[in-house]
Amino acid sequence: MDRVTTATHCPYCALQCGMSLGAPAADHPGIPVVGGRDFPTNRGGLCKKGWTSAEVLGTPGRVTRPLLRGADGRLAESDWDTVLDLIADRLRASRREHGADSVAVFGGGGLTNEKAYQLGKFARLALGTSRIDYNGRFCMSSAAAAGNRAFGVDRGLPFPVTDLDDADTVLILGSNVAATMPPFVAHLAGVRERGGLIIVDPRRSATAALTDDGAGIHLQPTPGSDLVLLLGLLHLVIAEDLVDHDYLAERTSGWEGVRRSTAPWWPEAVQARTGVPVEQLRAVARRLARGRGTFILTGRGVEQHVDGTDTATAAINLALALGLVGRPGSGYGTMTGQGNGQGGREHGQKCDQLPGYRSISNPAAREHVAAVWGVDAATIPGPGVPAIRLLRELGEPGGVRCLLVHGSNVVVSAPDAAAVRTALERLDLLVVCDFVLSETAALADVVIPVPQWAEEEGTMTSLEGRVLRRRRALDAPDGVRSELWILRELAARLDAPSVWSTEPSVVFDELARASAGGLADYSGLSHELLDTGVAAYWPYPTGSTGTPRLFLDRFAHDDGRARLVPVRARAADDPAQRDGVLTLITGRLLEHYQSGAQTRRVPELQDAQPIARLQIHPATADRLGIADEAPVEISTTRGTVRCVSQLSADIRHDTVFLPFHYAGAESANLLTEGAVDPISGMPEFKRTTVTVRPVGGVR
Amino acid sequence: MRIVLIGYGPVGARFVEEVLPLVREGRARLTVVGAEEHEPYNRVLLAEYAVGRADRERLELGDAEAAREAGVVIRLGQRVQGIDRTRQLVRLGDGTTVPYDRLVFATGARANIPTLAGLERPRIGRAAARADAALDGHSAGLPDGVVVLRDLADADTVRAAVRERRRVIVLGAGVLGMEFALAAREQGAEVVTVYHGDAPMERNLDAGGGRMLAAAARAAGVIMTSHSRAESVVLSTSDDGHRHFDALLCADGKQIDGDLLVLSCGVAPRVELADRAGLAVSTGILVDEELRSWSDPDVYAIGDCAHIATPVAATDQRGGGSTVAPGQHPRVTGAPSGLIGPGWRQAAWLAGVFAAELRAGERPALLPAERRPVVMLKAEGVSVCAAGELGADPWASEPGVEVTQWVDPARGRYATMTTRDGVLTGFVCAGLPRLAAELTLLFERGSELPPDRSALLALDGSAPGHGALRSASPDDVVCSCNGVTGRAISHAIACGSATVREVGSATRAGTGCGGCRDRIVALLDQAAESVADVLPAPVG
C-alpha cells in the first residue's frame, strides 16, 4: 500500500487526539513517524504516550502467529485452520454438553465500533450465549447508569470538549486529566485564567496542581466520601438559595425528594465526614452558582466505588439544581477513559444491551435488531451478567467453561486479580485475541494475533460522542488476521445464521442500520461520510447532521424531563489508621495506559516509569518507619504487593496511591476486592483498606 | 405488627423513613403522634432559621406525604395523654386510643428554663398530663421577649427580633448559644452574650480554645459578658397588661438592657410521659443497648430521650413481669448524647431490627458504642472544633500520654492534640479549619497521629501543596504532558534550539497541552541573557 501520510487518531485514551502517521524514517523501519494533527480535542498536541505510540508496532513481543498450548504446557506457533477448527470444536462441544451459557465473551473498550458490534452479534448468534460483558464495566458503568437514570441516555460529554474553553467554572471530581489525557488541559486554560478550576482529589495530582496561583481551588477529601461532599454542596446551594427554580420546574422531576435528601448534610457534618473544611465548601458552592458558565465533570475517582452510581447521580443532581444541563455553555459530563469507551458501550458488548444502546429485554428492540440480522428475535438470548459476576462464574459448577477475551488484560485490570487468575486456570478453554503476549494471553490455551490500530480501518467514538475514523497506515505483519475475519471464520464453523462481513465499512453500515431508532443512532453515518471530515456527534439519524449538544430541548425520558433521584450516603466505616492500616486508591500515571500491556513495551515510557511506586505522605511514612525509595509491602486478605515507596506531601495522610499498570507482584489489583455497585456492577477500586509496612523491618 | 411512634422530630422522621418499606410491604402498620402542628423539621438548623439565614423549606426533613401515601397514619398536633401498657394502648388528647405491638419513644428533649426571679419556672408535675404542654417551648408561660430556642414557634419570635435588628441578649455560651449569637450578629442584630464562666463553651473547650472563641466572637461584634451570674429579669407591663422583657440583672449588680432574652441553658430529655407509664427513667428513658425499655420489652426509645445503659437488674425482661422497679433511677450514669447523629443511627438500627423480625431475616449487629462526640461550632468565618479529653497537661509525664500545642493568638490560631500511645484521644482546634477537619477524621477513626505533629499544622499553611517551601529545581518537570524537565530543555537550548518549536522538536516539551510554553520562553530568554553576559557589548 502507499506510504503517504495517514490521518488517524491516537490508539490510547478517549480524547482520541488527531494524529498523522507518516512514512517510517530510514533508521527506524516499520515504525511510522507520528505527528500531531490539528483536531479540536488536541489542536496538534500529543502526550508522551501518543508520540511514542508507534513503537508498539515493532515491539519484539508482538504475536504474529496463532499460538496453541501444547501437551508440554507451552504455547507454540500453530496455523490458522488448526486453531480455528480447535476453537470451534471445543465451543460446540461445550455448548452441547453444558449449554450455551457455558461459553462467554469478554470484550474491551479499546475495540473499534465495528469490532465491538460484531463481537456482540457473534456472542448472541454464533455462540447463542447471554454471557458477554467487557472491561468498560470497570470504567464507565457507574456514570452510564447514572446518566441513563437521570437523562434517559448516556453520552459521556453531551457537548463538545471545546465548550469548556469559555467556561467560567469547571468542577472536576476524581479525574487526573493532566496525567491521563494531557492535551485536554489546554481546554482548561480559560477557566484557570478566570480562577474557576475546582479539582476534587485525595491527592494533589498534576491536575489539582493546576489550581495553584489563584487558578482555582483544590478540595482534598478522604477517599470514598465524594457522595457526602456532593450532598453537602447541594445543601449549601439550597441554603443560599442558589437554585435555578424555573429550570427545575420546567425541565426536571423529582426535586422535592432530592431537596429533602440533602437535609442531613449541613456543612459541618460534611466537614466531619470528608475532611474538607466548611469555608472551602462554601467557596465552591458559591463559585458554582456564579453565572451560567459552569461545568461539572466526573471521573473514575468518584465512580469506581460501590456507591459510584449514586455518587455520579449526586453530581448530576447538583448540576440540575443549578440549571446547568441542556444549556449551551454549561453542563454535566463524565470523562470516558478508554479509546472507544463510549462506542464500546453502545453497540452490544454490554450484557444487557443490543446495538444503538438498546435494551436486550425490550421486545421492540429485539425485533428491530433481529430484522437487521435476519434472524428470529426469539433466537437472541436474554440479558447476561455484568463483568464481575461473569468472572466469578468462570470454572464454577454450572458456570462458564470456555472464555474468549478480546482487547482486555483481565488478570491485571480486574479487581482481586489473584482470584481472577485462579478462575481462568479452571476453564476448559481460554482464547485470547491480542497483538502482544499480555499477562492474560500468557495464560491462554490459544492466542490469536490481531492487528494494531495503525494496521486497521474502523471507527471510534470519542469522549464527546463524536464518531471518528481510524485509518490504516501500514499492513499488519504476515500471519496476523483481523477480528472481523476471525469472527467470520468461527461463525462459519459454528453454522451461525446472518452475514459476517470482514470489511469494516460494510460492518459499519450494518451497525448503522441496527442502531437506527435507538438512543445511540448512527444510521445517518458511513465511513464515506466520515471521510469528508464531518463533525459527527450522535445521535446522527438518517437525514440529520448530528447532535453536538444534547438536551437543548428535551431529555430522553418519555416526558422530556430530567429525573432527579434522591441518593443517600452509606454509614461511615473507615478503619482506624494504626499500625500501618491505610486507605489505598489506585490510578494511572502519565507514561502508562491501563494494564500497561502496550506502554510497558515502549522503552521511553518504561524507562521513565519502570516500576510500581507507592505514593505515601512523609509524615505517615515516618510513623511507619518507611524511607523514600525503600521496599514496602502492601497487603489485604486477598493478596500482597511488593514495591518501592515514593514519599510525597501531595497525598493525604490517611491514603496511599498505587498505579495499576504493573503486573506480577506489583499488580495493584491483587489488593482490590470484588465488591460491586448494586446498580452498575462497578467494582470498588478506589477505597481499599490495606496494611503497609516496610520490608526488612522498621528502620 | 402495629408500631406506634411518639414524637415526629428529626429522629422520629428518620425512623418513619426507615420503616416505610415494611409499611409498603404490608408487614407493619405505623401510627405517628407528633405534638407540634408542623411536618418534621431539622432542629439542628433552627438557629439559622431563627436569624433568617435559612428558610422554612431548608428545614424540612423526611417526606410525610410519601409516608401518608404508603399508609402511615400521622397525627400532628396531638399529645399522648397516657399509655396503658397492660392493654398496649396509647391514649391521645382527643380521647381516641391507638393499639400497639411495639411502642417507640422519640420525644426528644426540651430547653431548660433557668431559675431567674421574674420568670415563672413551671414545675415538673409528675401527675398532671397537661404539664407536658406547659413545659414545652413557647407556651411555657414565659413573658413576652423571653424565649428558649427549641421549636419553630420560638424561632419565629426570634426571627422577627433579628430582622428588626433589635438588641438580643443570649444567656448561656454553650455551643447552641454561641452559634445563635454569632449568626444573629452576622444578620445585623446587636448581641450580648452573658455567661458566668471564664470563657464560652467551657464544657467543650479547654481554656485556650475558649479564649480564642471569645476573641473571635468579640471580633465579630458580639459583646461577650463573662463572669456574670444572671439573677433576675426586669419586666415592664404594657397598657394591655402584657409583661415584656426589659433587662437582665446579674449577681454583681450589672443591668443588661435588651429587647429579647434568648435562654440557652441546655436541654433535658422529655421523660414525663414514660415516667407516668411506669417505665424506668433516669436522665432519659432507660433502655438497654438494644434500645429496649428496662421495664417493658415492647417499648423502645431513640434519640434525645433515650438513655442507653446496662440494666441494673439484668434478669429476664421478657417474662411478663418486670424485675426492675418502675420509677426514677437517679444514679444511672451516662445521658443521651443530645446530638442528631447518634439519634439517626438508632432510628435506622431499630427499623432494621423490626425488619429482621418481620421478614425473618438476620438481625443487624449491635450498634457500636458512640464515640465521644466531636463538637463543631456552626458559624461562618469562625472555626472552632473539639472532641475527647480536654486539659491534659503538656508537662505532666504520664506514660504514653503526649500533648502538643500551637498557640498563636495574634492570628487567632490555636490547637491542642492529646494522644495516648500515639492514638488521638482529644483535641481543640481554633482558626485552623483544615487541621480541624483532619483531626475530626483521625479522632473518629481512632487513628494514630504522625510523630511529626507539625506536618499536620502545615495543612493550613499558606503554601498550596507546600510549593513555596521548595525552591525551583532544574529537575522539576516543566512539560508534564511529556515529562520533560527544565534541565532537559536547557540542554536542548545549549545544543542550539532557539525557539519554542525547536525545543519541542528536540525534547517534545510544549507539544502536549501547550501550557508550559511560557516557561520554555523564559528558559530561552534566560539562556539568551547569560549568553549576552559573556559576549562583548555591540559597538556603536
pLDDT tens, residue by residue, B190-224: 999 999 999 999 999 999 999 999 999 999 999 99
**What's the CATH class of domain A581-694?**
mainly beta
Q: How confident is the model at residue B324 (pLDDT cuts 50, 70, 90)?
A: very low
| Chain B: closest CA distance from residue A672 (Å) | 21
Q: Is residue B471 over pLDDT 80?
A: no
Per-residue model confidence as pLDDT tens digits over B154-173: 899 899 988 888 899 999 99
Closest Cα partner for B441 from B455, B424, B459? B424
| Chain A: closest CA distance from residue B385 (Å) | 10
Q: Are residues B447 and A183, on separate chains, in Cβ contact within 8 Å?
A: no
B160 and B250 inside one domain = yes
Beta-carbon count within 10 A of B53 CB: 19
A82/A76 Cα distance (integer angstroms): 12
- Residues in Cβ contact with A73 at an 8 Å cutoff, skipping those fewer than 6 apart: none
B248 and B277 inside one domain = no
A278 contacts in B (CB within 8 Å)? 380, 383, 433
A572 contacts in B (CB within 8 Å)? 444
Distance of CA A678 to the CA centre of its chain: 18
pLDDT of residue A126: 98
Domain containing residue B419: CATH number: 3.30.390.30
Q: Indicate the residue among B237, B266, B295 that finishes a domain.
A: B266
B182 and B262 inside one domain = yes
B274 and B257 inside one domain = no
Secondary structure (3-state) at A312: helix
Beta-carbon count within 10 A of B436 CB: 30
A556/A220 Cα distance (integer angstroms): 35
Pairs of residues, one from chain A and one from chain B, whose beta carbons lie less than 8 Å apart: 175
Per-residue model confidence as pLDDT tens digits over A646-685: 999 999 999 999 999 999 999 999 999 989 999 999 999 9
Mean pLDDT for chain A?
Answer: 96
Q: Exposed/middle/buried for B38, CB within 10 Å: 0-12, 13-18, 19+?
A: middle
Asked if residue B250 lies in contact with residue B229, where contact means CB atoms within 8 angstroms, the answer is: yes
pLDDT of residue B323: 45
Following CA atoms A260, A266, A271, A274 in sequence, which dihedral angle do they give, to the nearest 10 degrees? Answer: 0
Write the single-letter amino acid at A359: S
Q: Are residues B447 and A654, on separate chains, in Cβ contact within 8 Å?
A: yes
Mean pLDDT value of segment B35-40: 86
For domain A67-138+385-530, which architecture applies? 3-Layer(aba) Sandwich (3.40)
Q: Minimum mean pLDDT among B11-20, B207-216, B324-333, B477-486: which range? A: B324-333
User: Which among B58, B341, B374 is the nearest to A238, CB-wise?
Assistant: B58
% of residues, chain A, pLDDT over 90: 95
How many domains, in total, are found in chain B?
Answer: 4
B458 contacts in A (CB within 8 Å)? 649
Q: Is residue A452 over pLDDT 60?
A: yes
| Chain B: closest CA distance from residue A576 (Å) | 5
Strands (E), B382-536: 384-388, 401-408, 413-420, 423-430, 477-479, 484-485
Mean pLDDT value of segment B459-466: 64
**What's the CATH class of domain A5-58?**
mainly beta
A256 contacts in B (CB within 8 Å)? 63
Secondary structure (3-state) at A59: coil
* Of residues B130 and B410, more confidently modeled: B410
Q: Exposed/middle/buried for B258, CB within 10 Å: 0-12, 13-18, 19+?
A: buried
Mean pLDDT value of segment B142-161: 89
In a domain, B85, yes or no: yes
In this structure, are strands A103-107 and A402-406 parallel, antiparallel, or unpaired? parallel
Q: Which residues of A472-509 are buried (b: 16+ CB within 10 A; e: fewer)?
A: bbbebbeebbbbbbbbbbbbebbebebebbbebbebbb
Q: How confident is the model at residue A440 (pLDDT cuts 50, 70, 90)?
A: very high
A26/B170 Cα distance (integer angstroms): 86
Per-residue model confidence as pLDDT tens digits over A177-220: 999 999 999 999 999 999 999 999 999 999 999 999 999 999 99
A459/B464 Cα distance (integer angstroms): 43
Write the single-letter amino acid at A407: G
Q: Indicate the residue among B307, B324, B359 that finishes a domain.
A: B359
A469/A109 Cα distance (integer angstroms): 16
Secondary structure (3-state) at A457: coil
Q: In the Cβ-directed half-sphere of A681, how many Cα atoms lie within 13 Å?
A: 22
Secondary structure (3-state) at A233: helix
Per-residue model confidence as pLDDT tens digits over A303-319: 999 999 999 999 999 99
At A228, which helix (H) or strand (E)?
helix A226-239
Q: How confident is the model at residue A518 (pLDDT cuts 50, 70, 90)?
A: very high
Cis-peptide into A539, omega within 30 deg: yes
Per-residue model confidence as pLDDT tens digits over A85-106: 999 999 999 999 999 999 999 9
Residue written as grid cell 432527579: A564
Q: Are residues A571 and B423, on separate chains, in Cβ contact within 8 Å?
A: no
Per-residue model confidence as pLDDT tens digits over B491-500: 999 999 999 9
A325/A295 Cα distance (integer angstroms): 9
Q: Which residues of B357-384 are buried (b: 16+ CB within 10 A; e: fewer)?
A: eeeeeeeeeebeeeeebbbbbbbeebbb
Q: How confident is the model at residue A487 (pLDDT cuts 50, 70, 90)?
A: very high
A653/A223 Cα distance (integer angstroms): 11
pLDDT of residue B441: 93
Q: Is residue B138 over pLDDT 60?
A: no
Write the single-letter amino acid at A31: I
% of residues, chain B, pLDDT over 90: 62
B21 and B91 inside one domain = yes
Secondary structure (3-state) at A493: helix
Q: Are residues B423 and A36, on separate chains, in Cβ contact within 8 Å?
A: no
pLDDT of residue B130: 44
ipTM: 0.89
pLDDT of residue A570: 87
User: Which among B440, B482, B513 is the nearest to A186, CB-wise?
Assistant: B513
Angle, alpha carbons B49-B55-B57 (nearest 5°): 120
Q: Is residue A73 over pLDDT 80?
A: yes
A576 contacts in B (CB within 8 Å)? 423, 445-447
Write the single-letter amino acid at A210: L
Beta-carbon count within 10 A of B266 CB: 15
A193/A581 Cα distance (integer angstroms): 40
Longest dimension (CA), chain A: 72
B277 and B348 inside one domain = yes
Q: Is residue A547 over pLDDT 90?
A: yes
User: Which among A257, A277, A622 is the nearest to B450, CB-wise?
Assistant: A622
Q: Alpha helix (H) ranges present in B458-536?
A: 486-494, 500-507, 517-534
Mean pLDDT value of segment A587-615: 95
Show me where the domains of chain A are located: 5-58, 67-138+385-530, 141-334, 581-694
A25 contacts in B (CB within 8 Å)? none
Q: How confident is the model at residue B314 (pLDDT cuts 50, 70, 90)?
A: very low
pLDDT of residue B151: 84
Closest Cα partner for A622 from A645, A590, A639, A589? A645
Secondary structure (3-state) at B92: strand
Asked if residue A688 lies in contact with residue A657, where contact means CB atoms within 8 angstroms, the answer is: no
Q: Are residues B344 and A264, on separate chains, in Cβ contact within 8 Å?
A: yes
B158 and B244 inside one domain = yes
In a domain, B141, yes or no: no
Residues in chain B: 540
B168 and B259 inside one domain = yes
User: Phi/psi at A412 (nearest 5 deg)?
Assistant: -105, -35
Domain containing residue B353: CATH number: 3.50.50.60
Per-residue model confidence as pLDDT tens digits over A385-435: 999 999 999 999 999 999 999 999 999 999 999 999 999 999 999 999 999
pLDDT of residue A412: 96
Residue written as grid cell 452479534: A121
pLDDT of residue B135: 55
pLDDT of residue B469: 40
> Given strand B384-388, what is the order of strands in its sheet?
B374-376, B384-388, B423-430, B413-420, B401-408
pLDDT of residue B320: 42
| Chain A: closest CA distance from residue B249 (Å) | 35
In a domain, B538, yes or no: no
Question: Residue B209 is part of which domain span?
Answer: 146-266
The terminus-to-terminus CA distance of chain B in angstroms comes to 105
% of residues, chain B, pLDDT over 70: 89
What CATH number was assigned to the domain covering residues A141-334? 3.40.228.10
pLDDT of residue B461: 80
B354 and B432 inside one domain = no
pLDDT of residue B54: 82
Mean pLDDT value of segment A457-480: 97
DSSP B295-331: S-TTEEE-GGGEEE---TT-S-SSSSS-SSPSSB-TT
Q: To probe the interface with A, which of B182, B441, B444, B501 has the most A CB atoms within 10 Å?
A: B441
Mean pLDDT value of segment A3-21: 94
